[in-house]
Amino acid sequence: MTESPLRITDHDAVRVITIHRPERLNALDSATLDALHAAADAAADDSAVRVVVLTGAGPKAFVAGADIAEMSGLTPAQGRDFALRGQRMMRRFERLPKPVIAMVNGFALGGGLELAMCCHLRIAADTARVGQPEIGLGLVPGFGGTQRLLRLAGRAAALELCLTGTPVDAARALQLGIVNKVVPAAELETETMALAARLAAAAPLALRGILDCILVGGESGLEEGLEYEAAQFGLVFASEDMREGTAAFLDKRKPVFHGR
């Protein structure tokens, strides 16, 4: 039986998914793409999981990219299928109804940056480096890199990173808006898990509504997006969590949310 490329552990309501291919710097091959997609499905279906953290094994890499050894022999049709396979997996994480945090512990290059960008939040070690170096291989980013980088960092930065292929350090990534926070490498896990625990204690239905408003409503025009937001706002009024949150505020106590 083939060993899984993932290590999955639960810490209360936080599920940590670790890509465990340290000998290949956690490169994404077809088996890993499929395992990640299945892990996203499982996290979505598990009511005990409120937050997901994605990271890579070892001190060097989050994910160093797609598996070049596998890609090198693909035909044009197979290359397109491989790109679509990766895009579907990343879209699954992006549309997960629970917050997904990328814990970027090292190199996030090519498919690695693409995987980090599909997460809702990104915390990077100060030693991390990110980039889209596909140009050096005669390739185009294929797992959503051109599109998400454009939306996160803007046209100028997307063109710079994709056309030159030159990675940037964590500080520049923060400046460009590619990551949300940079912390010392020794504090990365502590900081990430603290954020995950904070989100896990929040109202799950409200979290889901916020994700939908930004990720779904944000893909439409302003008027349509505002209508979508108002609809989501109204829906949470039917929840016990909304009653608990407002009552706790008025009672000057900490709310306890149950996701219903």
Answer yes or no: is 256 within a domain. Answer: no
User: Containing domain of residue 84, as a range?
Assistant: 6-200
3-class secondary structure, 72: coil
Q: Which of 87-96, 122-131, 156-165, 227-236 has the lowest mean pLDDT?
A: 227-236
DSSP characters for 179-213?
A: SSEEE-GGGHHHHHHHHHHHHHTS-HHHHHHHHHH
pLDDT at residue 255 is higher than 90 = no
For residues 20 and 78, membership in a common domain is answered with yes
**Angstrom distance (rounded) from CA 239 to CA 162:** 44
For residues 44 and 139, membership in a common domain is answered with yes
pTM: 0.93
Answer yes or no: is 1 within a domain. Answer: no
pLDDT at 259: 79
Please name the residues in contact with 252: beta carbons below 8 A apart, sequence gap of 6 or more. none
pLDDT at 66: 86
Mean pLDDT of all residues belonging to the chain: 93
For residues 67 and 193, membership in a common domain is answered with yes
pLDDT at residue 43 is higher than 60 = yes
Under DSSP, the state recorded for 237 is: G
Say which of 70, 134, 219, 224 is annotated catalytic: 134
pLDDT at residue 1 is higher than 60 = no
pLDDT at 210: 93
pLDDT band of residue 23 (cuts 50, 70, 90) is: confident
pLDDT in tens, 87-127: 999 999 999 999 999 999 999 999 999 999 999 999 999 99
pLDDT at residue 134 is higher than 70 = yes
User: pLDDT higher for 43 or 69?
Assistant: 43
pLDDT at residue 173 is higher than 70 = yes
pLDDT in tens, 189-220: 999 999 999 999 999 999 999 999 999 888 88
For residues 169 and 212, membership in a common domain is answered with no
- CB distance 40 to 7 below 8 Å: no
3-class secondary structure, 143: coil
For residues 209 and 126, membership in a common domain is answered with no
Of 200, 215, 241, the one marking the end of a domain is 200
pLDDT in tens, 233-244: 898 888 888 888
For residues 105 and 213, membership in a common domain is answered with no
- How much of the chain, in percent, has pLDDT values that exceed 70? 99
**Number of domains within the chain:** 2
User: pLDDT higher for 244 or 169?
Assistant: 169
For residues 196 and 208, membership in a common domain is answered with no
Residue of 8, 1, 85, 83 lying closest to 39 (CA atoms): 8
Catalytic (active site) residue 114: yes
Say which of 3, 23, 94, 114 is annotated catalytic: 114
Dihedral (Cα; 27, 33, 39, 41), 10-degree rounding: 150
Taking CA atoms, 236 is separated from 96, 97, 206, in Å, by 18, 15, 7
- For residue 223, the domain's CATH number is 1.10.12
pLDDT at 247: 85
Catalytic (active site) residue 191: no
For residues 109 and 123, membership in a common domain is answered with yes
